[in-house]
Amino acid sequence: MDNPRAEKVAVVNEVRERMEAADGALLTEYRGLTVAELAQLRRELAAAGGDYKVYKNTLVRLAVADTPREGMSEMLTGPTAIAFVQGDVSAVAKALRDFSRANPNLVIKGGLVGTAIMSAADIGVLAELPSRETLLAQFAGALSAPLQQLAGLMQALPRNLAYGISALLDQRQGESGAIEAPADEAPAAEATPDEAPAAESAEAPADEAPAAEAEVPADTAEAAPEDVAAPAAE
């Protein structure tokens, strides 16, 4: 006779181990789905990297109790099935979303990504993401572009360095010539004191002032009356 308690313990341990090993676990309610529809859903999820299992809610609660995943217990109401994901969680979320659009009886409740609790809206966002391969290709492209630019810069560095040194030397020589040019012209500016005699010659009229005073006929004016008065005395 089988031991029901041992079976329950085995199921709890199985769920706990699968939760810890999985990259994600997405919870759904499958009420109203037929056996054929459930089989089709399992096939589509398996192709995306998911394993769809049905467990009793009470056993799943025991499996996640006292663990970082304990918050998912609130989703364990009604008939619940878990899609365990190994790999790309967004691909499994996309498969669930697409299936639920054609089969409204499948309801996505939420789930886990690592140990983070995800709501139904969060799973919808995951379903809109590109595939893992596409994201990796985009990431690799984003990395390769800067690396190619860096390689080009490193290759051009010696050449540009030589150009930079040459330009710097030309600039220094130009600045040196611009500074020395006024010094060469300084003697011309100092020649102004040599021109002082010319300025003094312009003041020559001041020296000629005595000559102008010598022209005054002072003696002649006094001599004239004496010459006239002499005949009168005789």
Q: Is 86 helix (H, G, I), strand (E, B) or coil?
A: coil
End-to-end alpha-carbon separation of the chain, Å? 199
Alpha-carbon 109 to chain mean position = 38
Does pTM surpass 0.85? no
Within 10 angstroms of residue 96's Cβ, the number of other Cβ atoms is: 27
User: Is the model more confident about 190 or about 45?
Assistant: 45
For residue range 162-185, list pLDDT tens digits in order.
555 566 667 667 766 654 544 454
Q: What is the pLDDT of residue 85?
A: 94
CATH of domain 4-129: 3.30.70.1730
Query: Residue 6 pLDDT more than 80?
Result: yes
Segment holding 108, helix H or strand E: strand 107-113
Could you tell me the CA-to-CA distances from 67 to 16, 72, 113, 192, 202 in Å, in that order? 9, 10, 14, 100, 113
For residue range 100-137, list pLDDT tens digits in order.
999 999 999 999 998 899 999 999 998 988 766 666 67
**What mean pLDDT is reported for the chain?**
74
What are the boundaries of each domain within the chain?
Answer: 4-129
Alpha-carbon 103 to chain mean position = 45
